[in-house]
């Protein structure tokens, strides 16, 4: 009898840890599923929210857009940020040239973090970071990596891509972490015709008939840009010269108003003046490497109005005082009238 009791005790001692481990594994699997679901819902909602404002990427100037987005990311009150620093300032400062729109990629990550974190909150007093740590997500909310997210990579969508790791409780020294990757995508709205592929537009129209987005890309390429698309401010760096490439269709009514023209040119000049180096795509430029700054302004091959020419000359002088060479280049023809499509009123 004593032998039987001893046998049962030994068996229980052997089976109990296995039983506990099985229960913990089951609980961990539930946690993984739960975290996956709440993160997916959060990034999907954030993606859809950003897509509501996607017209801004198509219609506005990237400098003005990014300025508004940077204010948005620095706000501590998300609801007020969306209302006050995202929509209002940008809409008030609508521009026409988005040739370097891809710089918006630089602020996609912080914006995504703000919106996803907001969507993960279950109450006003909820601490998202602590809750995720309790769910065995490594490093909590800060452990979620947004760096692979893309904006308009295919000219038509915003992709929020997150990566994070979950660890098995108590045995994380022995059991490897689980790496999870999740994606949410949302199409942007870019007018009735959408954002066309640059190669398709090349076959039928000159650069000045392209959308602002594609025109900027094409002119950047034609001018010999040697820096990544998302490199801040400049497109070319060679022999100590930092060159910013901008294009303006001065035939547009907006730029026939010389106040608008001057405002835009001064924005470009001031932005380049503030440039003290940057880093992107493994390329780093330090301030001490910059000996000269050049602003290359590409305009259509058309006759400038007298007041437009005078404004440009004034801006050339202003740029020179700030150590910047403003070079105006007439190139790539001029905008052609649409053959069949009637002009719609805006």
Asked if residue 40 is part of any domain, the answer here is yes
- Quote the CA–CA distance of 247 and 255 in Å, as a whole number: 12
Question: Does one domain contain both 57 and 181?
Answer: yes
The phi and psi torsions of 68 (rounded to 5 degrees) equal -65, -40
pLDDT at residue number 8: 59
Per-residue burial over 25-40, b = 16 or more CB atoms within 10 Å of its CB, e = otherwise:
eeebeebbeebeebbe
In the predicted model, is pLDDT for residue 339 greater than 90?
no
- Quote the CA–CA distance of 51 and 49 in Å, as a whole number: 5
Asked if residue 340 is part of any domain, the answer here is no
pLDDT digits 0-9 by tens, 123-170: 555 688 888 888 888 888 888 988 888 776 666 677 888 999 888 776
User: 45-54, 269-278, 289-298: which has the minimum mean pLDDT?
Assistant: 45-54
pLDDT digits 0-9 by tens, 110-122: 778 888 888 887 6
pTM given for the model: 0.44
pLDDT digits 0-9 by tens, 236-255: 998 889 999 999 988 888 88
DSSP for residue 275 = -
In the predicted model, is pLDDT for residue 90 greater than 50?
no
* 227 confidence band (pLDDT: 50, 70, 90): confident
In the predicted model, is pLDDT for residue 13 greater than 50?
yes
- Quote the CA–CA distance of 214 and 217 in Å, as a whole number: 5
Domain boundary at 164, 187, 210, which?
187
* 173 confidence band (pLDDT: 50, 70, 90): low
Asked if residue 1 is part of any domain, the answer here is no
* Strand residue runs (E) in the chain: 150-151, 157-166, 178-187, 236-238, 241-247, 277-280, 283-286, 292-299, 324-330
Asked if residue 176 is part of any domain, the answer here is yes
Question: Does one domain contain both 306 and 244?
Answer: yes
Within a 13 Å sphere around the CA of 13, how many CA atoms are in the beta-carbon half?
A: 6
Asked if residue 149 is part of any domain, the answer here is yes
pLDDT at residue number 137: 86
Question: Does one domain contain both 127 and 235?
Answer: no
**Rounded to the nearest 10 degrees, how much is the dihedral formed by the CA atoms of 117, 232, 100, 98?**
70
Asked if residue 11 is part of any domain, the answer here is no
Question: Does one domain contain both 166 and 231?
Answer: no
Question: Does one domain contain both 264 and 296?
Answer: yes
Question: Does one domain contain both 54 and 154?
Answer: yes
User: 67-71, 227-231, 318-322, 327-331: which has the minimum mean pLDDT?
Assistant: 67-71
pLDDT at residue number 109: 75
- Number of domains within the chain: 2
Asked if residue 249 is part of any domain, the answer here is yes
Asked if residue 5 is part of any domain, the answer here is no
Question: Does one domain contain both 131 and 93?
Answer: yes
- Quote the CA–CA distance of 151 and 108 in Å, as a whole number: 7
What burial class does residue 334 get, using C-beta atoms within 10 Å of its C-beta: 0-12 exposed, 13-18 middle, 19+ buried? middle
Provide the domain limits for residue 261: 198-330
Question: Does one domain contain both 265 and 137?
Answer: no
Domain boundary at 129, 161, 187, which?
187
Question: Does one domain contain both 249 and 307?
Answer: yes
Place of tokens 């066309």: 196
pLDDT at residue number 131: 85
Domain boundary at 132, 160, 187, which?
187
**Structure tokens belonging to residue 136:** 């065995």
């Amino acid at each position: 009898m004593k032998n039987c009791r001893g046998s049962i005790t030994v068996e229980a001692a052997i089976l109990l840890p296995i039983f506990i481990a099985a229960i913990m594994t089951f609980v961990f699997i539930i946690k993984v599923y739960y975290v996956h679901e709440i993160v997916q819902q959060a990034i999907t909602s954030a993606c859809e929210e950003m897509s509501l404002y996607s017209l801004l990427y198509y219609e506005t100037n990237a400098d003005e857009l990014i300025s508004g987005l940077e204010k948005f990311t620095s706000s501590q009150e998300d609801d007020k940020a969306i209302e006050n620093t995202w929509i209002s300032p940008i809409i008030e400062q609508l521009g026409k040239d988005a040739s370097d729109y891809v710089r918006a990629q630089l602020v996609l990550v912080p914006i995504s973090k703000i919106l996803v974190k907001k969507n993960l909150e279950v109450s006003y007093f909820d601490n998202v970071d602590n809750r995720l740590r309790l769910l065995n997500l490594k490093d909590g909310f800060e452990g979620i990596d947004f760096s692979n997210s893309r904006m308009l990579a295919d000219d038509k969508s915003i992709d929020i891509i997150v990566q994070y790791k979950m660890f098995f409780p108590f045995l994380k020294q022995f059991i490897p972490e689980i790496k999870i990757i999740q994606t949410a995508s949302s199409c942007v709205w870019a007018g009735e015709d959408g954002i066309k592929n640059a190669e398709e537009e090349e076959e039928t129209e000159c650069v000045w008939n392209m959308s602002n987005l594609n025109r900027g890309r094409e002119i950047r390429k034609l001018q010999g840009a040697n820096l990544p698309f998302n490199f801040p401010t400049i497109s070319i760096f060679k022999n100590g010269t930092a060159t910013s490439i901008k294009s303006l269709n001065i035939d547009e009514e907006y730029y026939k108003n010389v106040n608008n023209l001057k405002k835009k040119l001064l924005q470009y000049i001031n932005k380049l003046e503030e440039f003290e180096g940057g880093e992107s795509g493994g390329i780093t430029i330090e301030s001490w490497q910059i000996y000269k700054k050049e602003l290359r302004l590409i305009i259509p091959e058309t006759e400038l109005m007298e007041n437009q020419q005078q404004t440009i000359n004034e801006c050339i002088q202003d740029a020179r005082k700030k150590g910047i060479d403003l070079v105006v280049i007439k190139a790539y023809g001029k905008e052609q009238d649409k053959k069949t499509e009637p002009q719609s009123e805006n």
